[in-house]
Every structure is written in structure tokens, then in C-alpha cells.
Amino acid sequence: MGDIKLCRMDIDDIPEIMVIENLSFAVPWSAESFITEVQNNRAARYVVAKDTDKVIGYGGMWIILDESHITNIAVHPDYRGKGIGNLILKAMIEMAKQENIIAMTLEVRRTNYIAQRLYEKYGFVSVGIRPKYYEDNNEDAIIMWKNNV
């Protein structure tokens, strides 16, 4: 693994993001969804992690007034367990701070303990459940918030 670089997502990153998306999620977003996010959604902020020039992970959020909603974070399976998710989440929190965000939220699968521990490490706490949130298996989502960003 070379030097990991974090930068804003652009259209050219989407083919590699789609590989990660399809390997990471039972119900992946479409390439068109990412294109719309990058080109047309003024609330969207996306960051990619690159090893040399290869996209190895990404994260996205929507800025809504003074809050941020994390939409997705994923790391290529070959790079998991190497701290890439930490780097992405840390960059997203810094981006939120620069935009004067005071709170961040997200949903995470009840069984995704690795992601839950990552979010807790950065000050997110569980505040509720969205029953049957995930359409692939009706799994509940845990709602997490981080205040005082």
C-alpha cells in the first residue's frame, strides 16, 4: 500500500466507486445516483481515498442547514482493516467542521458491529432504531448522532 491520498470525488472516480459499491452493499447505488450526487446535488459532499491513483474507498454526506447526514462509507475489501475507513470518516468530520456543521447523523445496520465501533470511536452515539430499514433483508438500522462537531 502506497501513500493514501484523500480528495473530493469527481465523475472520473465513479467507475472504481461502483466496483467498491457492488462489493460492499446488498442494494448498491447506481452509477447514475453517484453522477447525480456529484453533478447536481448541492447538498452532497463526497471524499475518496486513493492508493496512488486507485480509488480504494469513499464516503458521502448531505449538508442540511447546520447538520450533516452521512449517506455512505465503503472501503474496497482488499483494503479493509487498514484504517482507511478511519481516514475517510475523519476527513468527513473535518469537512463538516469547515462548513460549520454542529451535528452529524447516519444509519447503520444493526449487525454491522465494525462500522458501529468506528462511529463510536469518533463520538457517534445510538439514539434510536429504524425498524426494517434495509430492504434486502428487513434488517433494522441503528440511528447514530454526533453532536458538537
The answer to whether 142 and 126 have CB atoms below 8 angstroms apart is yes
Neighbour tally for 97: CB within 10 Å: 12
Catalytic residue among 46, 58, 79, 119: 119
pLDDT at 3: 86
Angle (CA) 91-30-20 rounded to 5° is 50
Mean pLDDT to the nearest integer, 18-35? 95
- Tens digits of per-residue pLDDT, 89-131? 999 999 999 999 999 999 999 999 999 999 999 999 999 999 9
CA separation for the pair 69, 141 (Å, rounded)? 14
Domain boundaries along the sequence of the chain: 4-147
Residue among 77, 94, 91 nearest 4 (CA): 91
Catalytic residue among 16, 67, 107, 139: 107
Active site residue 119: yes
Mean pLDDT to the nearest integer, 21-26? 94
CA separation for the pair 60, 99 (Å, rounded)? 15
- Tens digits of per-residue pLDDT, 53-84? 899 999 999 999 999 999 999 999 999 999 99
Q: Which CATH class is domain 4-147?
A: alpha beta
Q: Is pLDDT above 70 for 1?
A: no
Active site residue 67: no
Tell me the sheet residues that pair with 103: 67, 147
